[in-house]
Copies of this chain bind each other. A is one copy, B any other.
């Protein structure tokens, strides 16, 4: 198996990406990695490592898409960017999985434009893992598709269920449709029609509508929404968790200064549990080939996790099973 990684993508690239790739060699056995990006930069960080020769290939790409670049413009203008070259490897089947911690908008757009969808899939969707007190759930779509139709939502429910099963080795996840009330009649037209489609699929463990308050405390392992809602949700949560932990820490500093230092590992632990890189990144479900997005702030550990997850999902036939379920 060949796994391709964007060496230049993310706030801590290339150093942390290269380190993460080297660490992944420990479990990769016969699989090889392609590091895509500026060869001199990659070599600078590989130079000190051993045992990578013959297991890591380098595909030179001269340009780099920055984290703040305009997505569509940058993928059009920077043809020889690591991100475009990476996606080409996935699109042409030269890599079984592609992984990037780079500019999210550019990466998602490049994958959507460059890679084909699986047979039967109408639109790809991004899935992320989020923590609940009772375990981890998967939410899709969190931003690939902001012009969502009922059939798309239904397909996200199927694809995210298969992804959940592969990721956590648990069968039949309970599926909830994110809405503004629990009754089937609640929500907008999109959600009401998607409800019917999910309800009609006897192979799906569909629990019905859930509300915002159930996302982090309810019983669904898979939660479905359109990309606009999911994107706002994901970004709100990420910033809110950070803010709240900062507030806890700064109030503690003032009111119980003797305990503030002891709190640091606690607030850090909580904050990091909301980082989806923990769970191997966020896949763009529904594409031919596997495409994984890591968080922009990914360190080596997050890159290693993503490589492990991508490899496992590929060996576990994630895509084949998505096709089989959708075309049943």
Q: Which residues of A contact B (CB under 8 A)?
A: 70, 105, 133, 143, 146-147, 178-181, 183, 187-189, 191, 211-217, 225, 227-229, 231-241, 243-245, 247-248, 251-252, 255-256, 258-259, 262-263, 265-267, 269-270
Contact = CB atoms under 8 A, between A and B. Distances in A.
Copies per assembly: 2
Given A251-B270, A270-B248, A216 B228 contact: no
A244 to B, nearest CB: 5
A232 B176 CA distance: 13
Nearest to A226: B188
Contacts of A247: 133, 270
A251 B236 contact: no
Contacts of A248: 248, 263, 266-267, 270
Contacts of A263: 248, 252, 256, 259, 263
Given A187-B228, A212-B234, A244 B270 contact: yes
Contacts of A241: 240, 244
A265 to B, nearest CB: 7
Nearest to A191: B228
A225 B147 CA distance: 16
Contacts of A270: 244, 247-248, 251
A236 B237 CA distance: 8
Contacts of A237: 212, 236, 240
